[in-house]
Amino acid sequence: MAGLTIRNLTKTFGTFTALKDVSIDVEEGEFLAVLGPSGCGKTTLLRMIAGFEGVTSGEISIDGRIVSSPDTDVPPSDRRIGIVFQNYALWPHMTVADNIGYSLKVAKVAGPERARRIAAALALVDMESFADRAPASLSGGQRQRVALARCLVAEPKLVLFDEPLANLDVHLRASMEDEFAAFHRRTGTTILYITHDQAEAMALADRITVMDHGRVMQIGTPEEIFHRPATGMVASFISQGMVLPATILAAEAEGQCPISVLGHEVNVRCGDGDGPRDGARVCVRGPDIVPAAVGAPGFDAKVRRVVYQGGTARIEVEADNGHGATMHFDRPDPQTHSAGDRIRLAFSGGWLIPPGDA
Amino acid sequence: MAAGASGQGQRLALTAGVLGIIVIFSLLPMLRLLQEVVLPKGAFSLAAIRAGLGDPTAWVAARNSVIVGVGGTALAVTLGAFVAILVTMTDIRGTQILILCFVTPLMIAPQVTALAWLQVAGPSSPLLHLLGIAPPIGTPNPLYSPGGIVLLLGIQYAPLVFLILRAGLRKLPRELVEAAQATGARPLRVIFTIVLPLMTPSIVGAAALAFVSCVGNFGIPAFLGIPANYLVLPTLIFQRLAGGGPAVLSDVAYLSVLIGLIAMAGIVLQDRFAKRRDFRIATTSLGVEPYRLGRWRILATAGMWGLIVVILVLPMVGLILTSLVHGYGIRLSMETVTLDNYRFVLWDYAAARRAFANSLMLATTAAVFAVIVAIPLGYVMAWGKSGWIRWLNFAVELPYALPGVVLSIAALLMFLKPIPLTGIQIYNTVWIILFAYLARFLVLAVRPTVNSYAQLDRALEEAAEIAGAGLFTRLRTIVAPLVAPAAMAGGLLIFMTALSELTVSALLWSSGSETIGVIIFAFEQGGDSKYAAALSAVVVAITFALMLSVNLFARHLPDGVLPWRD
């Protein structure tokens, strides 16, 4: 049974369309990340799933029950969901234990049972000794742990994470990522995780939904999203992919197509049955760009900038016939290039973005 | 170097000017009052206090003050909080117009409120006569009672609580409420376990303010309490002073310090209470999404309008109906309706004409002065770095935070004798009222101005400094234009408050220096309710017209300077 089903969901605010025809299925127990740049509609999506915003058209069902449609609007309190907020949203006037126990009190769980479950939730996030502390006296990471405990104590069917790590520093993020992964393993809860950080999404999620301008661009495993981006937006958003116009020279064979890009003929990966068509584009990433000997197949370029990054340098180049588009790749030390150098490069591979993307 | 030196000089001049104003309008009056109580004629003496402690009437009045203060506050907090939650946290219809109507009683002078309600509830009420349910002539008006005073104080100051709580609610990050909703908590539970506890500082602060206002209120207990011989401290002071003149000044000085102490007790209590727990909301976020009332929406909207009708429309209708009849107890009909009362108070009666001129002059001068002073004062208070800024704020707030009676007595003590060195005598002239108004209302312009400074990026001024502009040039060309809207909105508030002010002028007026408030009061005391009602109706009309006309260009004002608009 599906944990969360979103069907043709559209949301407009006045004349602004925040979400357009979004459909997502989240399996029961699945960890799905929704990834996109700010303003892509991911937070609106979360707020609609939680019931804080009504839907304009389409429907949302949780655990097989329709909770949102233009005619149905189950209040947030009846959706049996948990939310972990970016700013933790701990109630400052309650102790840590009171924060965690709130939902149990609402559900009229008896005192001793409540105390036991609060203690268990605190133990799960390693915060036993903080039960009587005020939220204001905790660090950011500790607050997020409490927020997590508050969320899991109610044993919700679906947990929504709203950029939970955005306010934490880099070191804490890694440890909280572990915490979230452990939480998911332990509880098997269906999770929808909103983020703009692809590393986070890749590390945690079973599948990733990439959104842009209120539309779903692609839904797939982290590997699919990385290796087989469905659109130019996904290709360039994930790991700084470069999208270049290409000419397909022959039909697909064994998952590969010969193409010509920047006047350079190369075999790249492609979808089944792809073949010569107009407007084809190829996605290449830094590791796909390799140096080539003079006279060997490849293309000529000029080094625009060399950004040293410690151990490696990011080399930015402009291909001679690339109409001003810049590309970049990393080179390990020692660095031999500097701005203005002429350089010959070749592609060692790439991915042909499938048709259908404007 | 020269520029640096003149910069120093200008800064010094600004600081000195600001300090001078604070000393004259806040510290001197308060010190003079304290001196009268403990150091009369220059020698330490507890005689005044001892005499006061042995005065049973003073104790009864003090007890009554506490009773109506607590009662009025309780009603104001209950009503104000209820309406604030309903209007801010639900999708009730017509929020803006509801707010405007609900806040209006705060803009109407208390004695006008009292007068209006008396017209509605009494045996001579033309409204009750129209409906045929008036009590028989001769029975006392039910509002002439402590309960009536509490009711009207509650209605008068509920908007105060409403405004403070609404501002707090709008800053409540929505996640805190949503986190509770997600746990399955129903709206009422969320309001009682999350929203209201988090709003404790706002509610307690508003309660303290309402308490001080209730205890210091003169107009309502004067209209409702004096006929029932139910005296509170401000009305006791008024009666003693009216009967004994300057001879009883040190006696009433003790009483006014007593009110000051009761008011202070409320503020101290608030401070203690607010510090008991951690209510600090650290994060900022969007405001809370309103609860959808669904089918209750129409009912809630209707209920709110019902409330507006009771607290605003009915009294105003009562006031207008009374102003249209010839005399006490006459039934209003097409034959008896008359505009004679208006003609009398606006044209025929010299004292009323004088009062209009005086009140207009006083209100305008106080407003203009406050706006001009608020800008440099706000500059020092908001952007100054010295440690004494906190005390500056306290000193500016003091004359307004303390009941108006306190300041009036202080002003009397200060100016009973001619001003030293100059020999100018302002006692028994309109100028002593002006002094009291300037002192009392200054903070109403300073507060929004300081807020406006806080929202302003200081870099704007620093850029002008880099460009070579001296302090006064910067104040005039950069700072003043930016904070002027807030200061002027404050000035407008002062104008409306001062126009029909009674508490201060009731103690300071003399023949020739009557104010509108005093004339209304005198008419009512003399049994001429119809004239009092006509004059009140004119004042209310002016207040309304001002509120609505300011609304027209409210878009150009910074957020939160007009109390009746978001």
The residue of chain A with its CA nearest to that of B193 is A102
Q: Which of B175, B183, B277 sits opposite A102 (nearest CB)?
A: B183
Q: Which of A80, A85, A136 sits opposite B278 (nearest CB)?
A: A136
Q: State whether B184 and A154 contact (CB < 8 Å).
A: yes
The CA distance from B559 to A255, in Å, is: 62
Site of tokens 């005619």 = A71
Q: State whether B283 and A87 contact (CB < 8 Å).
A: yes
Contacts of B189 in chain A (CB under 8 A): 106
A 44-103 residues inside an 8 A Cβ radius of B? 50-53, 73, 75-83, 85-89, 91-93, 102-103
Q: State whether B198 and A103 contact (CB < 8 Å).
A: no
The CA distance from A9 to B71, in Å, is: 53
Nearest alpha-carbon partner for B515 in B290, B365, B307: B365
Express as a percent the part of chain B with pLDDT over 90: 16
Cβ-based neighbours of B559, under 8 Å, separated by 6 or more = B455, B566
Which residue did the predictor score with more confidence, B309 or B390? B309
Q: Which of B174, B183, B277 sits opposite A93 (nearest CB)?
A: B277
Q: Helix count (H) and strand count (E) of chain A?
A: 8, 21
Nearest alpha-carbon partner for B111 in B251, B211, B226, B269: B226
The residue of chain A with its CA nearest to that of B190 is A106
Q: Which of B176, B184, B200 sits opposite A77 (nearest CB)?
A: B184
* Cis amide leading into B563 (omega within 30): no
- Looking at residue B270, its pLDDT comes to 76
Lowest mean pLDDT among A62-76, B58-72, B442-456: B442-456
Q: Give how far A50 is from chain B: nearest CA, Å.
A: 7
Q: State whether A85 and B175 contact (CB < 8 Å).
A: yes
Q: State whether B180 and A52 contact (CB < 8 Å).
A: no
User: Which amino acid, residue B479?
Assistant: V
Contacts of A80 in chain B (CB under 8 A): 184
Residue B380, both tokens: 């020092």
The CA distance from B373 to A250, in Å, is: 82
Question: Touching check for B189 and chain A: CB below 8 Å?
Answer: yes
Based on the number of CB atoms within 10 Å of its own CB, is B553 exposed (0-12), middle (13-18) or buried (19 or more)?
A: exposed
- b/e sequence B168-183, b meaning 16+ C-beta within 10 Å: bbeebbbbbbbbbbbb
Lowest mean pLDDT among B45-54, B138-147, B399-408: B45-54
- Looking at residue B50, its pLDDT comes to 76
**Tens place of pLDDT per residue across chain A (358 aa):** 458 999 999 999 888 989 999 999 999 999 999 999 988 889 899 989 988 888 999 999 998 889 999 988 888 888 888 888 888 888 888 889 998 988 888 888 888 999 999 999 998 888 889 999 988 888 888 888 898 898 888 888 899 998 888 877 887 888 888 888 888 888 888 999 999 999 899 999 999 999 999 999 999 999 999 999 999 999 999 988 899 888 888 888 888 888 988 888 899 999 888 888 888 899 999 899 988 888 888 888 989 999 988 888 899 998 887 777 788 999 888 878 888 888 899 998 899 998 876 5
Question: Mean pLDDT over residues B191-215, rounded?
Answer: 88
Residue B60, both tokens: 């009864």
Q: What is the pLDDT of residues B495-549, one digit of tens each?
A: 988 988 888 888 888 888 889 999 988 888 888 888 888 899 998 998 888 888 8
Contacts of B278 in chain A (CB under 8 A): 92-93, 134-136
The CA distance from A172 to A167, in Å, is: 10
Question: Touching check for A106 and chain B: CB below 8 Å?
Answer: yes
Instruction: With H, G, I as helix, E, B as strand and everything else as coil, classify residue A346.
Output: strand
User: Which amino acid, residue A146?
Assistant: V
Which residues in A246-284 belong to E strands, given as ranges?
A: 247-248, 256-261, 264-269, 281-284
- Looking at residue A284, its pLDDT comes to 92
User: Residues B395, B22: contact at Cβ < 8 Å?
Assistant: yes
Q: Give how far A235 is from chain B: nearest CA, Å.
A: 33
The CA distance from A88 to B261, in Å, is: 43
Instruction: With H, G, I as helix, E, B as strand and everything else as coil, classify residue B328.
Output: coil
DSSP label of B414: H
Q: State whether B198 and A83 contact (CB < 8 Å).
A: no
pLDDT at B2 over 50: no
Question: Mean pLDDT over residues B426-447, rounded?
Answer: 87
Site of tokens 């700013």 = A87
Q: Which of A82, A134, A136 sits opposite B182 (nearest CB)?
A: A82
B 190-249 residues inside an 8 A Cβ radius of A? 193-194, 197-198, 200
The residue of chain A with its CA nearest to that of B274 is A93
Nearest alpha-carbon partner for A304 in A287, A282, A281, A322: A322
Q: State whether A107 and B280 contact (CB < 8 Å).
A: no
Cα separation values, A318 from A161, A268, A301, A350, B266, Å:
41, 21, 5, 18, 73
The CA distance from B367 to B25, in Å, is: 15
Q: State whether A77 and B197 contact (CB < 8 Å).
A: no
Give the 3-state DSSP-derived string for chain A, with helices as H, strands as E and coil as C: CEEEEEEEEEEEECCEEEEEEEEEEEECCCEEEEECCCCCCHHHHHHHHHCCCCCCEEEEEECCEEEECCCCECCHHHCCEEEECCCCCCCCCCCHHHHHHHHHHHCCCCHHHHHHHHHHHHHHCCCHHHCCCCHHHCCHHHHHHHHHHHHHCCCCCEEEEECCCCCCCHHHHHHHHHHHHHHHHHHCCEEEEEECCHHHHHHHCCEEEEEECCEEEEEECHHHHHHCCCCHHHHHHHHHCEEEECEECCCCECCEEEEEECCEEEEEECCCCCCCCCCCEEEECHHHEEECCCCCCCEEEEEEEEEECCCEEEEEEEECCCCCCEEEEEEECCCCCCCCCEEEEEECCCEEECCCCC
Question: Beta-carbon neighbour count of residue B249 at 10 Å?
Answer: 18
User: Residues B29, B21: contact at Cβ < 8 Å?
Assistant: no
Residue A58, both tokens: 């389409």
Q: What is the pLDDT of residues B256-305, one digit of tens each?
A: 888 888 888 887 777 777 666 666 665 666 777 788 887 888 899 999 99
User: Residues A228, A220: contact at Cβ < 8 Å?
Assistant: yes
- Looking at residue B422, its pLDDT comes to 77
User: Which amino acid, residue B348?
Assistant: D
Lowest mean pLDDT among A3-17, A31-45, B351-365, B459-473: B459-473
Would you place residue B1 in the very low, low, confident or very high pLDDT band (cuts 50, 70, 90)? very low
DSSP label of B23: I
Q: What is the pLDDT of residues B85-142, one digit of tens each?
A: 999 888 888 888 898 889 888 888 888 888 888 888 877 776 777 777 777 777 778 8
- Looking at residue B157, its pLDDT comes to 92
Cα separation values, A212 from A18, A85, A280, Å:
10, 22, 21
> Mean pLDDT for chain B?
83
Residue A244, both tokens: 């270049």
Q: Which of A77, A87, A154 sits opposite B181 (nearest CB)?
A: A77
The backbone region for A163, taken as left when phi is positive above 0, alpha when psi lies in -120 to 50, beta otherwise, is left
Question: Mean pLDDT over residues B32-53, rounded?
Answer: 75
Question: Touching check for A139 and chain B: CB below 8 Å?
Answer: no
Q: State whether A81 and B179 contact (CB < 8 Å).
A: no
The CA distance from B80 to B160, in Å, is: 7
> How do A326-332 and A281-284 pair as beta strands?
unpaired
Cα separation values, B108 from A107, B517, B524, Å:
47, 11, 17
The CA distance from B66 to B62, in Å, is: 6
Q: State whether A103 and B184 contact (CB < 8 Å).
A: yes
Q: Which of B176, B189, B279 sits opposite A89 (nearest CB)?
A: B176
Question: Mean pLDDT over residues B230-249, rounded?
Answer: 85
- Looking at residue B479, its pLDDT comes to 84
B 288-317 residues inside an 8 A Cβ radius of A? 289, 292
Q: State whether A103 and B183 contact (CB < 8 Å).
A: yes
Would you place residue B559 in the very low, low, confident or very high pLDDT band (cuts 50, 70, 90)? low
Question: Touching check for B334 and chain A: CB below 8 Å?
Answer: no
The CA distance from A89 to B175, in Å, is: 5
User: Residues A192, A158: contact at Cβ < 8 Å?
Assistant: yes
Question: Touching check for B2 and chain A: CB below 8 Å?
Answer: no
Q: Per DSSP, what are the bridge partners of residue A289?
A: A347
